Amino acid sequence: MTAVSLSTSTAAALRADAVVVAVAKGPKGLVLAPGSEAVDEAFDGKLAEVLATVGATGADGEAVKVPAPATLKAPLVLAVGLGDVAEGGYAAEVLRKAAGVAARTLHGSKKAAFALPATEAEAVEAVALGAQLGAYTFTACRSDAANADAKTPLAEAVLVGGKRGDKAAKAAVERATVLAEEMNRARDLVNQPPNDLFPKSFADIATVAAKEHGLKIEVLDEKALTKGGFGGILGVGGGSERGPRLVKIAYTHPKAKASLAFVGKGITYDSGGISLKPAGHNETMKCDMAGAGAVFAAVVAASRLGLQVNVTGWLALAENMPSGSATRPGDVLRMYGGKTVEVLNTDAEGRLVLADAIVRAGEEKPDAIVDVATLTGAMVMALGSRTFGVIANDDEFRSTVHTLAEEAGEPAWPMPMPAHLRSGMDSTVADIANMGERMGGGLVAGLFLKEFVADGITWAHLDIAGPAFNEAAPFGYTPKGGTATAVRTLVALAEHAADGKL
């Protein structure tokens, strides 16, 4: 992973492979962003003119390279676009994206000086996080020869122009590094092929991390799940030779005054079960455990940041496969806690494993439960591929989660739970069916989960089906493949609770 450090040197004085500056779109053309002064001086005040000559416009996501003059100690200048000029300073997300673009563009370089407009701690953290996320690559499944031929990620990013002894900036880099390492952990999990990552191996990975970071962990295997009556997890995982697991991983702080439960959908591969997915919809279904990956990473991040809050992660892990032992459409499952569910579609499996885990999480009476899941294609249809939906049983809490997500740089949108949709899940043979009306399917799924939240517990559901896995080209600091969506939102919520604001 890219190392990030701070330097009081100017961009002109630091020896590096490249110097990164930022440019923006002004009313009269290209504008140099603050931080680029020393580099502009090396160009005799004509850096903007040179960049414009080779086509730079300052557009968001743009990256333009020019050779550096001899007065710079780096041979290359990389200008990244910030979009429209912002007189009052650039938003953290704008800086994160620009730093991510720079890090991706500089694959193969060992060291780069980042001379971006980042003097305050929030901006420093944004640049540090963006650089580390943008440099991410997943190489675990490539041969040594293939990795040798590929360009390696940027090894070191030096943020120049800082103040000597700036403790706030140092703390900002440290926080960014924790977030980046845990987000990249979640990305690695999502990108792992399903023949390597399955319920037991995921549980083993969590066990190793728990030991490393002093977390409490409990893993329920098939025998324990059967004894406990976890019919949802067992029903979904019954068709696979690789049995399901429920993992509880907990971080506690002696001064905590609030407790949170995060529940993650962990379908390590989703074939759809007996209700088999059509051709063309299977290839990315290794990402159906992205919710559990985000929960796992968020709990570890809370621990590493030393947040004064208790956070428990529940990873509901199963592989949804068709076989002679698989759950059939028409079967009735007795869920943990006793409620019965008629399974009308085995491809609506995520809500079944989540329901078991939500009931179990509620027994510990946390102040709030948040579940995270790649749950419905309907939410992707509603919000697109970059925004996740937020559903809750409390309007104020839904607004809080939405606001924290947006502030963290994760696009989200509050969604309703229309009461009239509940009747579509009425069953003639069980307490509830796992399917309802097709239209508004993302909202129906939220209504289903709400049925398993204990009275008096605040709850929110994050449907991350759109942004959890990027099938398009990389953008900003977001790679192709796993994105680690929701990690920052969960960590922000934990910080919010630690500050007594829950």
Query: How do the residues of the chain divide into helix, strand and coil, expressed in percent and rounded to 5?
Result: 35, 20, 40
HEC letters along 269-286: EECCCCCCCCCCCCCCHH
Distance CA 63, CA 371 (A): 37
- Tell me if 230 sits within 8 A of 237, measured CB to CB: no
Q: How many residues does the chain have?
A: 502
Alpha carbons 245 and 177: distance in angstroms, whole number: 30
199-213 helix and 167-191 helix, angle to the nearest 10 degrees: 160
Residues with a catalytic annotation lie at: 277, 351
Q: 478: which DSSP letter?
A: B
Q: What is the DSSP string of 218-271?
A: EEE-HHHHHHHT-HHHHHHHTTSSS--EEEEEEE--TT---EEEEEEEEEEEE-
Closest CA to 433 of 379, 356, 352: 352
Beta-bridge mates of residue 212? none
- Which position has the token pair 């324990």? 224
Asked whether 314 and 247 are in contact (CB, 8 A), the reply is yes
Q: CA 199 from chain center: how many Å?
A: 20
* CA dist., res. 174 & res. 171, Å (int): 5
Which residues, in sequence order, are bridge partners of residue 80? 22, 63
Q: Which tokens in the block code for residue 124? A: 């420093």
- The string over 173-195, giving b where at least 16 C-beta atoms fall within 10 Å of a residue's C-beta and e elsewhere, is bebbbbbbebbbbbbbbbbbebe
Distance of alpha carbon 128 from alpha carbon 135, whole angstroms: 11
Question: Which secondary-structure segment (H or E) carries 462?
Answer: strand 458-463
Kindly report the number of other CB atoms within 10 A of residue 367's CB atom.
15
- Residue 25: φ, ψ to 5°: -90, 110
| Residue 44 backbone class (left: φ over 0; alpha: ψ -120 to 50; beta: rest) | left
